[in-house]
């Protein structure tokens, strides 16, 4: 088949850089965007600073965009009461509102190109499925992406052929837990039992995940004929999601929980056929 055209955000380091290299190694085409374009060092790759410009140039040069990977984002770590409103809003602006802006443009392009279609891959986190202490706002941003994407996947017409996948990484040895991580400036005296910097510093470089292998997995998901709506990557993420499924099953499988849920219906109400 013809070369696929990828557009990947957040390519300076980590997953983005490895995914771009995998795309190139597989013989496909990549338009790479990054906050620091000087760090983009891929052979035969176009580096773009602005999303609108990136899409415009992709269409101008290649006539279509087949895969968009929303990889830009960062982690904010600290007890919730140490996180001020501005830190929280910035986290949501980058991880959620930035992503939906790219998604809006990608959908328009994919719906209108001939033939229509493409894959929009949202890089979320296992923290988008399970709550992680010290990451309340980060998790909120990733849960937001998960809910947004699931709802969006049910709005598109089949003939548009636009597919969505939330990629949910566990811990990988990227800069996410190192230089890229943000922390509140002031400590809260009530949280002397939690030290985000110390905890993340100890974890950095010891995670299970290999970023290069993560990039390969993301590529495999992107080129599947029928990609899943969600997929964890990393053995720790897989184990975590299995635990979450078990918790859900035990909770919602309880007869008393079902009885409580049903007790709130209007008398005589029946679910539509």
Q: Residue 267: pLDDT band by 50, 70, 90 thresholds?
A: very high
Helices 211-222, 14-25: inter-axial angle, 10-degree rounding: 60
As a residue count, the chain comes to: 273
The closest alpha carbon to 66, from 55, 79, 52, 77, belongs to 55
Which phi-psi region, left, alpha or beta, contains residue 188 (left: φ > 0; alpha: ψ -120 to 50)? beta
Residues in CB range of 213: below 8 A, 6 or more apart: none
In terms of pTM, does the model score above 0.95?
no
* Domain 5-239: top CATH class: alpha beta
For 167, the 3-state DSSP assignment is strand
Residue 38 or 30, more confident: 30
Q: Is-contact 33 11, C-beta < 8 A?
A: yes
Which sequence spans correspond to the domains of the chain?
A: 5-239
Residue 273 or 25, more confident: 25
Q: What is the mean pLDDT of residues 227-241?
A: 95
Q: Measured between alpha carbons, how far is 207 from 175 in angstroms, rounded to an integer?
A: 11
Alpha-carbon Rg for the chain in angstroms: 20
pLDDT digits 0-9 by tens, 88-127: 999 999 999 999 999 999 999 999 999 999 999 999 999 9
Q: How many CB atoms lie within 10 A of CB 48?
A: 22
* pLDDT reported for residue 133: 94
Q: Is-contact 137 91, C-beta < 8 A?
A: yes
* pLDDT reported for residue 36: 55
pLDDT digits 0-9 by tens, 43-85: 434 333 467 888 998 999 999 999 999 998 888 999 999 999 9
Q: Measured between alpha carbons, how far is 112 from 154 in angstroms, rounded to an integer?
A: 19
* pLDDT reported for residue 177: 56
């Amino acid at each position: 088949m013809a070369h696929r055209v990828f557009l990947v955000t957040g390519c300076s380091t980590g997953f983005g850089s490895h995914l771009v290299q995998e795309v190139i190694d597989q013989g496909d085409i990549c338009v790479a965007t990054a906050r620091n374009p000087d760090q983009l060092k891929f052979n035969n790759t176009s580096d773009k600073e602005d999303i609108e410009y990136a899409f415009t140039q992709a269409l101008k040069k290649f006539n279509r965009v087949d895969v968009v990977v929303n990889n830009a984002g960062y982690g904010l770590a600290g007890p919730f009461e140490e996180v001020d409103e501005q830190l929280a809003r910035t986290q949501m602006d980058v991880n959620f509102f930035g992503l939906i802006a790219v998604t809006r443009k990608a959908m328009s392009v994919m719906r209108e190109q001939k033939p229509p279609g493409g894959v929009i891959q949202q890089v979320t986190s296992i923290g988008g499925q399970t709550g992680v202490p010290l990451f309340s706002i980060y998790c909120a941003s990733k849960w937001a992406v998960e809910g947004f994407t699931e709802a969006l996947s049910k709005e598109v017409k089949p003939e548009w052929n636009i597919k969505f996948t939330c990629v949910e990484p566990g811990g990988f040895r990227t800069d996410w837990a190192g230089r890229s991580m943000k922390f509140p400036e002031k400590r809260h005296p009530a949280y002397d039992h939690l030290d985000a910097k110390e905890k993340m510093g100890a974890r950095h470089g010891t995670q299970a995940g290999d970023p290069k292998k993560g990039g390969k997995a993301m590529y495999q998901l992107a080129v599947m004929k029928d990609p899943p709506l969600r997929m964890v990557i990393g053995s720790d993420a897989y184990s975590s999601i299995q635990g979450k499924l078990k918790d859900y099953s035990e909770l919602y499988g309880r007869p008393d929980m079902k009885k409580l849920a049903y007790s709130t219906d209007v008398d005589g109400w029946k679910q539509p056929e």
